[in-house]
């Protein structure tokens, strides 16, 4: 099923099996993750326990079923001051809300009680997320999003209204969870800082 690994900070990471099944019997494999995600200010986040160990040259990206990789950044920092990042993989063609809830990613925060959110109807705007990277893999804003988010930045979306790609989509989406509650600033850098 999976294995538990500890990183140098003593924080646990769960390594799950590399196949996820969707309801229509298609299978997604975990794609190769970059070994590090870099955030401005020199902070580097290592993906511990989520990177496949095999570097088998026989397996090419074209042979793997398509999947979308996610990096969900929590609104709170870890004790060492770095962003808390959760890595997940899912098949395209699903709503972002469903991917987050199925992957046990915090979506509603203080609005998590049933009477405080609309359960995916797009009327309460409590499932707001900030899309940091990968907006080209997401559906355009719906009319409900345009109405509810007209005073928010253009990269904020409602997870319940956002479709992630198509069944054959591949790529990386970086999501800031609960952007209205985050107590820190960070920027996503595509290239890691040079190593001394």
Whether the CA torsion 162, 97, 158, 43 is positive or negative: it is negative
For 124, the domain range is 2-189
Q: Tens digits of per-residue pLDDT, 69-124? A: 999 998 888 888 888 899 999 999 999 999 999 999 988 887 777 677 888 899 99
Q: Tens digits of per-residue pLDDT, 171-183? A: 999 999 989 877 6
Residue 121 lies in a domain: yes
Residue 37 lies in a domain: yes
Q: Tens digits of per-residue pLDDT, 14-51? A: 443 334 344 444 456 544 455 455 555 545 454 443 44
Give the chain's domain count. Answer: 1
- Cβ atoms of 88 and 54 within 8 Å: the answer is no
Q: What is the CATH number of the domain that holds 52?
A: 3.10.20.30
Write down the pLDDT at residue 4: 40
Question: Sorting pLDDT into bands at 50, 70 and 90, what band is 12?
Answer: very low
CA distances to 43, 93, 120, 162, 193 from 99, in Å:
27, 10, 12, 11, 31
Q: What is the pTM of this model?
A: 0.68
């Amino acid at each position: 099923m999976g294995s538990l690994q500890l990183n140098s900070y003593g924080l646990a990471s769960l390594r799950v099996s590399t196949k996820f099944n969707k309801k229509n019997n298609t299978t997604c494999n975990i794609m190769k993750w970059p070994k590090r995600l870099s955030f401005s200010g020199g902070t580097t986040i290592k993906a511990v326990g989520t990177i496949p160990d095999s570097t088998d040259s026989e397996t090419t990206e074209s042979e793997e079923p398509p999947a979308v990789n996610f990096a969900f950044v929590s609104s709170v920092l870890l004790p060492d001051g770095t962003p808390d990042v959760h890595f997940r993989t899912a098949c395209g063609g699903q709503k972002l809300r469903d991917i987050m809830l199925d992957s046990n990613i915090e979506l509603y925060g203080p609005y998590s009680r049933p009477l405080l959110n609309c359960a995916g109807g797009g009327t309460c705007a409590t499932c707001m997320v900030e899309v940091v990277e990968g907006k080209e893999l997401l559906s355009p804003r719906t009319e409900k999003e345009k109405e509810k988010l007209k005073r928010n930045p253009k990269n904020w979306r409602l997870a319940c209204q956002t479709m992630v790609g198509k069944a054959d989509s591949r790529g990386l989406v970086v999501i800031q969870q609960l952007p209205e509650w985050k107590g820190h600033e960070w920027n996503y850098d595509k290239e890691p800082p040079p190593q001394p």
